[in-house]
Structure 1
Amino acid sequence: MKRGYQESPSTSLGPPQSRARHDPQGGAHFLEDESTKNFARKVADHYSARSNQTLEEREASPIIHLKKLNNWIKSVLIQLYARRGDAVLDLACGKGGDLIKWDKAKIGYYVGIDIAEGSVRLDKVLADDAPFDICSCQFALHYSWSTEARARQALANVSALLRPGGIFIGTMPDANVIVKKLKEAEGLTFGNSVYWVRFDEEFSEKKFKSSSPFGIKYTFHLEDAVDCPEWIVPFHVFKSLAEEYDFELVFAKNSHEFVHEYMKKPEFVELMRRLGALGDGNQDHSTLSADEWEAAYLYMSFVLRKRGQPDKSQQGSRRDRGSMHISEEDIMYITDN
């Protein structure tokens, strides 16, 4: 998407050097059923069709404070783990909404990639850009959990592209909360004024086989955001699978726990205030409605570290690439030819 600046005292003048790539076709490195492909296309079309909203239109969203809270969580993760000069891979980057967060962290190199059908072998596509110091996948990793093959490919991609000692940060639905709320619900649907979750009749007994942790589908609706199928990611299975790809867990926190912990730090209180997600009081979620705060409970954050020690000779080699601004030639369309 962009190629940015060489490191200098005036780093606030422009974005980090960066590239973004979009894959309209996806890869064919493992088989996917037609419904999965149609779903991926639907989600891609949904976000592509969203018009650029004015500030007034954004502020009028019924979940504006939830969006601001989620932006705060992503900002805190970036501030905690990104270091000056890092090479960053931003998976499911959309239209680059997090670029300003990375810019403020003074990273050295950025690649954002958004794939319509997520089976492509990114280690081959991004061979010239790797290794990365940090990878981010925000509110998207659970879409790979429709099959074991897709889940494994996602983790294999990240592991292959991260340097030893590199960090993988992300956010996704909290499976424990979703299953707990389902079991407490009278039927197969639960929610409030801003969201609802519905499971199909096949889960009428509200039991999930530990032998089949992939492909547990539900429909998720969030006002002014998304309305599509998603998949449960049992975190103990995610952690175990990640370990197979050389990752170790640093932490995993539900969004409520995350807010309570990091709002104890003055710099993050001030960040939340600047983002407009905190009112005049000092309560953790004073501007969120009760329904938005309940919706926030559906999500969690995680941090993984790739095993091994970094090779310092590989760092900093990309800082002198690129120009200040994005242009058409900075966008590469990845096809399955």
Structure 2
Amino acid sequence: MMRSCQESSSSAFYRPPHLRFKNLHLSCHEVADHYSGRTNQTLEQHEAGSIIHLKQFNNWIKSVLIQLYAKRGDAVLDLACGKGGDLIKWDKARIGYYVGIDIADGSIEDCRTRYNGDADHHQRRKKYCFPARLICGDCFEVRLDKFLAEDAPFDICSCQFAMHYSWSTEARARRALANISALLRPGGIFIGTMPDANVIIKKLREAEGLHFGNSVYWIRFDEEFEDKDAVDCPEWIVPFPVFKALAEEYGFELVFVKNSHVFVEEYLKKPEFVELMRGLGALGDGKEDQSTLSPDEWEVAYLYLSFVLRKRGQPDQTRVNSRRDKGKMHLSKEDIVYISD
């Protein structure tokens, strides 16, 4: 998975917080076009690349987060849900309701197909246990609290490998956090993964120029992007203390933040997560399959962190089930809702 992260210079990360943003509003459309353009791949092709162990490793991290914090019957808001790769994880958690939002219409269509069990994919499966809604729109730009008023409050919100896209401008970063805060119940959980700015800045300082990488990824600062066969669109790195401070303005408190290397060291001490890792195959299955992440893939994992935030306040133990009538167990093309600002 090649990643490209853009900023004007390394010094930009040490200015006052209100100057850490660049006015690159139109890049959200580049992101949408990029991911939609990849949808003519089958899901099997999408998952059978040369970095399969890295993908399995990332799936393990997301699975651990979901197993730690999702509870039976929870209402889930999945921001930047993409092609629905986490649907099976939510199903295993026995959630009660799911709303997925993504800016790329092609990805949402793939998510719909996957949810219906019609995907051209080896995981063709029975129906999921929860009703769902799918929405196509920019969740970092559109105000969602009124649009999803009848669906809220949600028990858990997830934004995996995408939260940094909201940081193209301060207004977008604030809209993203305002949306999540408004839609989560008091005590609700926000889980996510994003680039680790500390690691990226460290590597930039050690690099000879304004770019670095290996056989699996590259990061270039303040230069034009080249054509690549993976993620190749403007991205932003977010200094986590700045992200934490902004999240606190919207009523969140930090539960934990861990670099992926620390995350795997900690949670592989738990037998249930060891078995999960074996099942996914990121580090081999402990039997015939001895394949594992390459050193270059392991370096990519070091570029990311996982975080958990909790919305302040005492949770209301009364579940609101009527809102979930808006979801369906089978989604047609017409069921996808398109929203814009």
Please say whether Structure 1 and Structure 2 have the same fold, judged by a TM-score greater than 0.5: yes
How far, CA to CA, are the matches of 1:248 and 1:328 in structure 2? 38
Is 1:88 the counterpart of 2:76? The answer is: yes
* Corresponding position of 2:66: 78
Is 1:262 the counterpart of 2:262? The answer is: no
* Corresponding position of 1:171: 193
Distance 1:244 1:322, change over 3 A: closer
| Alignment-mate amino acid for residue 25 of structure 2 | T
* Corresponding position of 1:310: 315
1:286-319 superposed Cα distances (whole Å, 9 cap, x missing partner): 6000000001100000000000011222444445
Q: Which one of the candidate residues 63, 66, 88 is aligned to 2:54?
A: 66
How far, CA to CA, are the matches of 1:229 and 1:42 in structure 2? 8
Q: Percent of aligned positions with the same letter in both sequences?
A: 77
Larger relative strand fraction? 1
* Corresponding position of 2:154: 132
- Tell me if structure 2 keeps the 8 A contact 1:93–1:113: yes
How far, CA to CA, are the matches of 2:172 and 2:95 in structure 1? 30
Distance 1:163 1:286, change over 3 A: same
How far, CA to CA, are the matches of 2:202 and 2:154 in structure 1? 37
> What displacement does 1:41 show?
1.6
* Corresponding position of 2:25: 36
> What displacement does 1:281 show?
4.3
* Corresponding position of 2:222: 200
> What displacement does 1:95 show?
2.0
Q: Which one of the candidate residues 91, 94, 100 is aligned to 1:103?
A: 91
How far, CA to CA, are the matches of 1:323 and 1:144 in structure 2? 29
| Alignment-mate amino acid for residue 214 of structure 2 | N
- Tell me if structure 1 keeps the 8 A contact 2:73–2:96: yes
* Corresponding position of 2:131: none
* Corresponding position of 1:250: 255
| Alignment-mate amino acid for residue 266 of structure 1 | P
| Number of matched pairs | 284
1:144-181 superposed Cα distances (whole Å, 9 cap, x missing partner): 11221111111111000000000000000000000000
How far, CA to CA, are the matches of 2:336 and 2:43 in structure 1? 25
Q: Which one of the candidate residues 182, 185, 199 is aligned to 2:207?
A: 185
1:109-141 superposed Cα distances (whole Å, 9 cap, x missing partner): 000011354311011211111100000001111
How far, CA to CA, are the matches of 1:290 and 1:103 in structure 2? 32
- Tell me if structure 2 keeps the 8 A contact 1:135–1:167: yes
How far, CA to CA, are the matches of 1:81 and 1:266 in structure 2? 18
How far, CA to CA, are the matches of 2:207 and 2:28 in structure 1? 29
- Tell me if structure 2 keeps the 8 A contact 1:168–1:303: yes
Gap regions ≥5 residues in structure 1: 1-31, 202-217
| Alignment-mate amino acid for residue 36 of structure 1 | H
List, as ranges, runs of 4+ consecutive aligned residues in structure 1 with deviation greater than 6 Å: 218-221
Q: Structure 2 length normalisation: TM-score?
A: 0.77
